[in-house]
Amino acid sequence: MRVPIYDVRVGDRLGSDTFNKHGLLVLSAHTILHAEDIAKLQRHDLDYVDIDLQVENSRLTVSTVQEQQAEAYSNAVDNIKLVFEQVLHEGKLHEEQVENGFTPLVQHFKQERDVVSLLIALNTKDDYTYQHSVQVGMISYYIAKWLGQSEDEALLAGKAGYLHDIGKSKVSVDILQKPSRLTDEEYEEIKKHTIFGYEMLKQSGFEQSLAVAALQHHERLDGTGYPLRIKGHEMSRMSKIVAVADVYSAMISNRAYQKARNLLHVLREIHRCSFGELDPGITQVFIRNMVPNFVGKKLQLTNGQLGTIVLTNPVDFFRPLINVEGRFVDLSHERELDIEQIFV
């Protein structure tokens, strides 16, 4: 069945080999399409593609995978909650418990290319501290892989993200869950979680790089971070990776005092932070790997209209081409409009 490229969805399956206008093979028949594949088809200026009529089978496969991922995510959240409770009562962590919580999560997510859908689908309003730990672990793993690091290095970065906030187990729950702005005294107290985490991980025998990431993930290149106000050249590379993952996860999450912001808007903010606060190289790699996943996503514009992202803008990643009821809207030209919300 011939389908317009702007109507193709993640989970659709190609019915035949797809060639570009020069006769070169773009994607093979029976490929189950991910966002990256749809972006590839669009880059080759294809107007229509042949989609298998038996799309329900492929979408069922995608749905089954998503259910398994959701279960793995939930298990990882439960596990990190137990780790927090354990370290509060015993004063130390057990590496085996961390391994049992994080490694199965990676096995379910390591082949996932559509990280955007993943984060939208798994993000809920409950258990912010624990979900944030899991998300930062996942995102740190992906960033390390996108940077070309080995599987072992990426796993270590993921564990650093998973444990980066473990020091919050010693911070008052009343402060962590306070629904209003923190006082100066409360903010100073919560900043101590970086030092608490460093000490816990060191005392528990974890690798030095994980302890350092817990200590430094709120430091900034320009020296405006905490707890030591060090600058970029003094930060470990792993700390810089976890810092990017930490900021992104915090911004996309619903918290007691902050409503989640749409994922594309947050990428724009991350880009702004790369000029002095976050490592620019790591940030750019993160953005380049996230942006293609927005192609095919449903959204709501600030004027209330619903549409679909058709193509990302190579000059301005954050103002893509939108299809609104068959009409193309180029946000790079129509500056009065913006994206209000993005859906799975």
User: Is 191 in contact with 226 (CB distance < 8 Å)?
Assistant: yes
Per-residue pLDDT of the chain (344 residues; tens, 9 = 90+): 788 887 787 778 898 889 888 778 888 888 888 777 887 888 888 888 888 865 554 444 556 667 788 888 889 999 999 999 999 888 889 999 999 889 999 988 877 767 877 787 776 656 788 999 999 999 999 999 999 999 999 999 999 999 999 999 999 989 988 888 899 999 999 999 999 999 999 999 999 999 999 999 999 999 999 999 999 999 999 999 999 999 999 998 866 556 667 788 899 999 999 999 999 999 999 999 998 888 888 999 999 999 999 988 878 889 999 999 999 999 999 999 999 988 86
pLDDT at position 59, please?
47
Burial 174-194 (b: 16+ CB within 10 A, else e): ebbeeeeeeeeebeeebeebb
Handedness of CA 38, 41, 46, 52 (dihedral sign): negative
Q: Which helix (H) or strand (E) holds 138?
A: helix 128-146
User: Is 95 in contact with 205 (CB distance < 8 Å)?
Assistant: yes
User: Is 339 in contact with 312 (CB distance < 8 Å)?
Assistant: no
pLDDT at position 313, please?
84
- pLDDT for 73-125, tens place per residue? 889 999 999 999 999 888 889 999 999 889 999 988 877 767 877 787 776 65
Structure tokens at 291: 């942006």
pTM: 0.82
Half-sphere exposure of 220 (CA within 13 A, CB side): 12
**Which candidate, 115, 116, 122, places its Cα nearest to that of 76?**
122
